[in-house]
Amino acid sequence: QVQLVESGGGLVQAGDSLRLSCTASARTLRTYGIGWFRQAPGKDREIVAAIKWEGGRTYYTDTAKGRFTISRYTANNTVLLQMNSLKPEDTAVYYCAVDPSGLLPTIVERYRYWGQGTRVTVSS
């Protein structure tokens, strides 16, 4: 069992930055991956980025590449999502979740132990 807590969301203007944090309570995350997802109103949940805990291999969607950076801090079981140059279309509730396989799948159903989400609103 892994518990995840997200934080860092808020209301910002287009072009601003936010840093989201996901802290996991687990004895070890060594073989896992952690993904960041988002769900906009009326839309399906979609992956944004993911990181393999051991080694730090990352995955980004084309939307996230160049603007978002995912990183992990093994000392405190935290995964960050630095989001720069935010756009109104980035408005969504952002979630982190555990990928038990460590293969960084892009399918939502492959992830477990979801956090409660943190809301990001980007005004134009």
pLDDT tens digit string along 82-96?
999 999 999 999 999
Residues 89 and 14: their CA atoms lie apart, in Å, by 10
CA 14 to each of CA 17, 43, 107, 111, 122: distance values in angstroms, whole numbers, following the listed order: 9, 21, 28, 30, 6
What distance lies between CA 70 and its chain's CA centroid? 7
What distance lies between CA 105 and its chain's CA centroid? 13
7-25 confidence digits (pLDDT tens): 999 999 999 999 999 999 9
Q: What is the pLDDT of residue 1?
A: 84
